[in-house]
Amino acid sequence: MMWKISKEFDFCYGHRVWSQTLDVEFSLDGCLKCRHLHGHQGKILVYLEATKLNDGMVTDFKHLNWFKAFLDDVLDHKFILDINDPLFSTLLPHIDKNELIKYDENYYLVNLTKFNNLESHIKELYEGYVIVNFVPTSENLSAWFLNIVQNKMEKLGIKVSHVEFLETPKSKSTFYA
């Protein structure tokens, strides 16, 4: 027997897929739109599974409140930037990659203390970025989200079977554990 539950989350974000290439036989043109800075209303579906129930449940849905807080506090209305993006130093001038603050969930933020004495709009520029070590495609983001959720939920003995990530209502990637 296997039970599976899912919980849906959404957040707004921006990104750029600097590694994008196209085969014009299939794309019908060579326009590399995803290389431009752009944004999405992302949706994440997290699927949890169990072979036995605890208190009649796989787990309480409230056990995912921390993930909603992570999305709201860290990613919502931020720009997800690959640390290896060739435009990194153009988009984030005066940032030494070695001074970034690394978090357990495998992302980095700019150390904003060096901007405390500057005008607020300068600080706002730098606080608008979440830096990752991968090209932020929907496929890579779905794998990242699965790893974040699995690392936390395994403390409760809960397995994440897969994560679906929709960057648009019609475009989805799925990553399986």
Q: The CATH number of the domain where 54 resides is what?
A: 3.30.479.10
pTM for the predicted model, two decimal places: 0.95
Q: Euclidean distance between the first and final Cα of the chain, in Å?
A: 19
Is pLDDT at 114 greater than 90 in this prediction? no
Is pLDDT at 151 greater than 90 in this prediction? yes
Tally of domains in the chain: 1
As a whole number, mean pLDDT of residues 80-101 equals 96
Is pLDDT at 177 greater than 90 in this prediction? yes
**pLDDT value, residue 22:** 86
As a whole number, mean pLDDT of residues 108-121 equals 89
**pLDDT value, residue 29:** 85
Q: Are strands 78-82 and 129-132 parallel, antiparallel or unpaired?
A: parallel
Residue 68 · residue 101 · CB < 8 Å: no
Is pLDDT at 66 greater than 90 in this prediction? yes
Residue 119: which domain range?
3-176
> Over pLDDT 70: what percentage of the chain?
100
Residue 73 · residue 5 · CB < 8 Å: no
Strand order in the sheet with 38-50: 101-103, 107-109, 129-132, 78-82, 3-15, 38-50, 159-168, 171-176
Residue 175 · residue 161 · CB < 8 Å: no
The residue with greater pLDDT, 28 or 66, is 66
Tell me the pLDDT of the chain averaged across its residues: 95
